[in-house]
Structure 1
Amino acid sequence: MRYIKDIPNPRFKIGLYQWNSKYIIRIESGMYEQTYKIDDYEVASTDELEVCMDEDFTNAVASRFDAMHGDFNGSLIRHNVLF
């Protein structure tokens, strides 16, 4: 996987990569991450992908991170890993 660049964002670490004829957008928040893939022929440049990291999208990402945390925490509690 080839690192291309970081996409500036005040809430998340967003990295852009290229691998296997796809762009990979990796969004990290603490111990969780989300990955989005798009065929590289779908976009003219990486700048198009950077523009897509707008407030509406990052708000949806934040909601998904909250859900991921709730799901994982719930499982840890159900299995007596956390009390």
Structure 2
Amino acid sequence: MRQLANIPHPEVNITLFSWNGKYLIKLEKGPFEQTYKVSEMDVTSDEDIRMLLDEEFMQAAVARFRHMHTDLQAAFDRNGI
């Protein structure tokens, strides 16, 4: 796996990788991460990947991080951990 870029964002760490004919977009916030795989055949360059990371996509990803946190906390609470 080859790291191509760190893409700045105010709320999320974004790292772009190239691996096995795919771009991997890794989003990290605190203890949580989301990874999206995009075939290199579906885009013309890593610049297309940056275009995918538009405001609407990033707002949804940040909301998903909040849901991940809520789900994990609920599991801790249910199990008395």
Q: TM-score w.r.t. structure 1 length?
A: 0.93
C-alpha separation in 2, matches of 1:73 and 1:3:
32
Q: Which residue of 2 aligns with 1:41?
A: 41
The corresponding residue for 1:16 is 16
C-alpha deviation, 1:34, in angstroms = 0.4
Tell whether 2:58 aligns with 1:76: no
For structure 1, the 5+ residue unaligned runs are none
Whole-angstrom CA distance in 2 between matches of 1:19 and 1:45? 14
How many residues end up aligned between the 2 structures? 81
Any idea what SS the aligned residue of 1:5 has? strand
Percent identity between the two aligned chains: 38
SS at structure 2 position matched to 1:42:
coil
Provide the rounded CA distance (Å) in 2 between the counterparts of 1:33 and 1:3. Answer: 16
How far, CA to CA, are the matches of 2:77 and 2:66 in structure 1? Answer: 16
Note the C-alpha offset of 1:28.
0.3
Displaced runs of 4 or more, over 6 A: none
User: Which runs of no fewer than 5 residues in structure 2 stay unpaired?
Assistant: none
User: Residue 54 of structure 1: CA displacement?
Assistant: 1.2
